[in-house]
């Protein structure tokens, strides 16, 4: 979707400058903590996580065990389905198996009585399952030769319990994979080759990352994040601390990521560098890499730089997608309602139903009226005030 390296670099540098400023400001705070421990001298890369964790405990202490009783799998499934209902009018009715494993649960997805899809959730870790989380279409939507509606499965690796309680990260994964599932279930194209998630690599994470935003909508948490035993809503103080923690140390996280992406990009422009480590040092000097932060991926172990053509110079795509998902969610915020019907309708018409029927840039522009800007990402990462 990005089209060329210049556009990628331009986008990364728009994020780099404010992220670097934030990281340098944070480095000063951490250096004061280091000095208070009686250690003189500069903050070094190996000091960062230790002092950042100390600072997090002091400023944002969030007790995961206090949080989990409010995030049961059933409550979060309810939240996930409710959001899809409010945005797209989808309804979810549990159906009986047998499915391919006793842990699998199934739902028929309908809209105004019309069959849309079958959705399966295979959520628990077991010995025979690959780790991670993913979404697959067992049968993709198509209209060629008569309409075929999709059968879609979300697979996760949550620890099964009675009841199953999720961390906030797990709940985000649940929403993420369901965003991919919606891309399949709302698909409305003729050819199976371009159905659902058959889109450019730097576009495919838009629906999934975008859907994560609704998990952190305070009204959604208030309605669904209820204690599994008492039914009490999550205390407001706990909820606010959860949401505030999301932007903590994002200067560091953004800097270590963007530096890796820029080095990846530089390695693949022109002839391969004779001495990759020297080229890496040049790139880092050019962008003013903060002393106390290292690249997230050191070049010798960074699969993106040498693991094959489909992957090389592609590390930027995570941030490219994040810029888009933040910008797309901002479309709802600008409309004054995170469930704004006309924005949801455009999201479905131009993105979720469209598969790979048109170039990603055209689809996004049709939805948003323009290409994405970085402002919403900077705001979401807490970087906008530093620039």
Burial (Cβ within 10 Å: 0-12, 13-18, ≥19) of residue 135: buried
Nearer to Zn ion, 26 or 205 (CB): 205
Residue least distant from Zn ion (Cβ): 208
Distance CA 374, CA 327 (A): 7
Distance CA 5, CA 283 (A): 15
Q: How far is the CB of 135 from Zn ion (least distance, A)?
A: 7
Phi-psi region of 271 (alpha: psi -120 to 50; beta: other; left: phi over 0): beta
Q: How far is the CB of 211 from Zn ion (least distance, A)?
A: 10
Q: How far is the CB of 206 from Zn ion (least distance, A)?
A: 10
Q: What is the DSSP string of 6-30?
A: HHHHHHHHHHHHHHHHHHHHHHHHH
Given 44, 53, 177, 256, the catalytic residue: 177
- Does residue 177 have an active-site annotation? yes
Nearer to Zn ion, 16 or 178 (CB): 178
Please tell me what DSSP assigns to residue 147.
-
Ranges assigned E (strand) in the chain = 91-95, 105-111, 114-124, 134-139, 151-158
Nearer to Zn ion, 184 or 208 (CB): 208
Q: How far is the CB of 231 from Zn ion (least distance, A)?
A: 32
- C-alpha closest to that of 3 among 387, 354, 361: 361
Which residues form the interface with Zn ion (CB under 5 A)? Answer: 208
Nearer to Zn ion, 156 or 292 (CB): 156
Please tell me what DSSP assigns to residue 225.
-
Residues noted as catalytic:
177
């Amino acid at each position: 979707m990005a089209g060329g390296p210049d556009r990628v670099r331009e986008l990364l540098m728009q994020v780099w400058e404010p992220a670097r400023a934030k990281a340098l400001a944070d480095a000063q705070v951490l250096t004061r903590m280091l000095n208070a421990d009686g250690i003189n001298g500069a903050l070094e890369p190996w000091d960062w996580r230790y002092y950042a964790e100390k600072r997090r405990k002091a400023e944002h202490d969030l007790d995961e065990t206090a949080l989990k009783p409010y995030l049961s799998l059933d409550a979060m499934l309810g939240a996930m389905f409710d959001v899809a209902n409010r945005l797209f009018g989808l309804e979810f009715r549990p159906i009986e198996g047998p499915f391919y494993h006793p842990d699998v649960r199934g739902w028929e997805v309908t809209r105004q009585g019309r069959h849309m899809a079958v959705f399966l959730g295979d959520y628990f870790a077991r010995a025979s399952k690959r780790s991670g989380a993913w979404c697959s279409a067992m049968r993709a939507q198509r209209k060629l030769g008569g309409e075929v509606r999709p059968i879609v499965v979300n697979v996760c690796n949550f620890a099964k319990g009675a009841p199953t309680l999720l961390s906030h990260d797990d709940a985000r994964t649940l929403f993420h994979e369901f965003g991919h599932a919606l891309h399949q279930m709302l698909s409305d194209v003729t050819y199976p080759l371009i159905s659902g998630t058959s889109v450019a690599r730097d576009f495919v994470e838009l629906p999934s990352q975008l859907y994560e935003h609704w998990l952190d909508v305070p009204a959604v948490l208030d309605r669904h994040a209820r204690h599994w035993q008492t039914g009490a809503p999550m205390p407001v103080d706990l909820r606010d601390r959860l949401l505030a923690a999301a932007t903590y140390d994002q200067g560091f996280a953004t800097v270590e990521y963007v530096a890796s992406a820029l080095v990846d990009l530089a390695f693949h422009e022109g002839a391969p560098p004779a001495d990759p480590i020297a080229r890496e040092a040049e790139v880092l000097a050019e962008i003013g890499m903060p002393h106390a932060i290292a690249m997230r991926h050191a070049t010798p172990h960074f699969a993106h730089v040498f693991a094959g053509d489909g992957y090389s110079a592609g590390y930027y795509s995570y941030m490219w997608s994040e810029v888009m998902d933040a910008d797309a969610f901002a479309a709802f915020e600008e409309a004054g309602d995170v469930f704004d019907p006309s924005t949801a309708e455009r999201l479905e018409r131009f993105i979720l139903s469209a598969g790979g029927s048109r170039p990603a840039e055209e689809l996004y522009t049709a939805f948003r009226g323009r290409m994405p800007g970085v402002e919403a990402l900077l705001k979401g990462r807490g970087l906008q005030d530093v620039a």
